[in-house]
A and B are shown apart, each in its own frame.
Chain A
Amino acid sequence: IAGITQAPTSQILAAGRRMTLRCTQDMRHNAMYWYRQDLGLGLRLIHYSNTAGTTGKGEVPDGYSVSRANTDDFPLTLASAVPSQTSVYFCASSDSPLGTDTQYFGPGTRLTVL
């Protein structure tokens, strides 16, 4: 693995189903983030984690949960998917959460909820 990866690449999901989007980085970055990207709205932060064992809510956290059991992995779970969660999801990481570090993005997961 080189950098930051996400899985799956794309997914079509029935409303009400549970879904976990996976994110893994091998850069030993402390901070990780989940964004959703919707046309005309740019990138909006869902949840973040400053370091393993800690998580926090971003701008649009409702309907999503995250965990950070170790440095490398930061999964995003939709407990009961709804059509409004149709979006492209990007995971990102940065070396530190101090506010001036570059965030590096994964390749994204395109999720469609029907």
Chain B
Amino acid sequence: GENVEQHPSTLSVQEGDSAVIKCTYSDSASNYFPWYKQELGKRPQLIIDIRSNVGEKKDQRIAVTLNKTAKHFSLHITETQPEDSAVYFCAASIRSGGYQKVTFGTGTKLQVIP
């Protein structure tokens, strides 16, 4: 089955610096890669996603890149702000056995230091 590895598990950056979170996946048939942000005690919320026919996608300070050949994708947050502090999950999605199988990474706790 699909295996998603996420690094680092924790990340501290100074406010204004960039943060990069990296994920790898094992199943080359995965075709959808969402990123979720989860604040303490809250639900995971989608912040950006990318499909397998796209190499890069940007939304203001957030960007995601996908390298299908190497089977890895990354989240880039520029000009970080304290409100970016949260746990971020990557995921790889595939239609498998009749349902949308989404495999999540184990999360990265991002701390933005003011």
Q: Check A48/B89 contact, CB under 8 A, given A41-B106, A99-B32.
A: no
Q: Give bound CA distance, A97 to B45, whole Å.
A: 19
Q: Check A98/B44 contact, CB under 8 A, given A40-B106, A42-B104.
A: no
Q: Quote the shortest CB–CB distance from B34 to chain A (angstroms).
A: 6
A31 contacts chain B at the CB level, 8 A cutoff: yes
Count A-side interface residues using an 8 Å CB cutoff.
25
Find out whether the CB atom of B31 lies under 8 angstroms from the CB atom of A107: no
Find out whether the CB atom of A48 lies under 8 angstroms from the CB atom of B49: no
Count B-side interface residues using an 8 Å CB cutoff.
26
Interface-central residue, B43, B46, B98, B106, by most chain A CB under 10 Å:
B43
Which single residue of chain B is at the shortest CB-CB distance from A3? Answer: B43
| Chain B 76-114 residues near chain A, CB threshold 8 A | 89, 93-102, 104-107
Find out whether the CB atom of B93 lies under 8 angstroms from the CB atom of A105: no
Q: Check A31/B99 contact, CB under 8 A, given A43-B44, A43-B89.
A: yes
Q: Quote the shortest CB–CB distance from A67 to chain B (angstroms).
A: 16
| Chain B 25-67 residues near chain A, CB threshold 8 A | 31-32, 34, 36, 42-46, 49, 51
